[in-house]
Structure 1
Amino acid sequence: MKFHYAFQKIVDLKSNEKTQAEWMLSSAIGKLQAEEKSLSDLFEMREQMFEAQQEAACRCAPVAEIRNIGIYVEYLESCIVKKQDDIQLAHVNVNKKQDHLTEKMLDEKVWLKARDKSKEKFRQESLLREQNELDEMATVRFAINAR
């Protein structure tokens, strides 16, 4: 006789939910990394603009050009502040997804443990049935040999 767990579909569902939570966490981590890369690019661009502004000042460029570079640096600064806020939100999202995954993992573990207990109980009952059949066969043989 083969073991059949009555709640196997629930175990499968919990496993699928855990897998989906893993994908969602992976996606959130990817978004966080993209935001961090974008921030790094903004810092690099700001640094380049500072250098361009210094170079323009050294070569006696028109004031309007230096001013335009300064305005662009200020714009980059505001972009950096916004990007830092985006990164903070992405961190919060990653933490939320990690908590969700942890919850799903625990949920799956509970159902797997219940299935394992049920399987062990089934195995013990099968062994007991088998032992009872062997005992009955031995009793019948003994009774036949005793006659």
Structure 2
Amino acid sequence: MKYQYKFEKILTLKEREKDEALATYQKAVKRFENVAEELYQLLKKKEDLVEFQAAKLQTGFQVQEIRHYQRFIANLEISIKHYQELVINARTQMNWCEQQLQEKNIEMKKYEKMKEKDFERYQDLLKEIENKQADEISTRSYFHHTGN
């Protein structure tokens, strides 16, 4: 008698859903990391530019250059603001995907636990059948030796 789990197809489906949720989560994490890295680079560029401009102010430089750097910094601030929003959105998406992954994982584990319990019942049934067969064999053997 071969073991057959009655919800095997559902378990397989739940595993596939969990794997898909994991892949989606990993993509969301990667997107978050990329956007956060870009934001970091922009912030670093702005910091370096402000430091450079402060150093230049100490040594003196032309008004035209000051305006140029101020426009560049203003444009960087616009980009920074945009990337801050992208980071917030990417983090929200990543957290949502993580929650979905956790839910799919819980669902799959429920079906795995059901399968384990079902398999234990199956093994108990096999042991019971084996014990009945052993009893039957020993009873026949007993009657055969006693001459009945």
TM above 0.5: yes
After TM superposition, the runs of 4+ consecutive aligned structure 1 residues lying more than 2 A away are 51-62
**Equivalent residue for 2:131?**
131
For residues 14-66 of structure 1, give each alpha carbon's deviation from its aligned partner in whole angstroms, at most 9, with x where no partner exists: 11211111111111111111111111100111122223433444454332221
Q: How does 1:8-23 map to 2 (within 5 A)?
A: 8-23=8-23
- The answer on whether the counterparts of 1:39 and 1:83 sit within 8 Å (CA) in structure 2 is yes
The answer as to whether partners of 1:11 and 1:108 remain within 8 angstroms in 2 is yes
The match for 1:73 is 73
Distance in 2 between residues matched to 1:140 and 1:55, nearest whole Å: 104
Task: Name the residue aligned to 1:25.
Answer: 25
Q: Which residue of 2 aligns with 1:38?
A: 38
1:1-147 matched pairs, under 5 angstroms: 1-147=1-147
Q: Which runs of 5+ in 2 are unaligned?
A: none
Native 8 Å contact 1:56 1:66 kept in 2: no
CA RMSD of aligned residues (A): 1.5
**Identity in percent:** 26
- Per the normalisation by structure 1, the TM-score is 0.92
SS where residue 2 of structure 1 aligns?
Answer: coil
What's the CA shift string for 1:65-115, capped at 9, x where partnerless? 210210110111111111111111111111101110110011101111111
Q: TM-score scaled to structure 2, two decimals?
A: 0.91
CA distance in 1, matches of 2:51, 2:109: 57
| Structure 1 gap segments, 5+ residues each | none
Whether contact under 8 Å (1:53, 1:70) holds in the other structure is: no
Inter-partner Cα distance in structure 1 for 2:15 and 2:72: 51
Query: d(CA) in 2 for partners of 1:138 and 1:3?
Result: 27
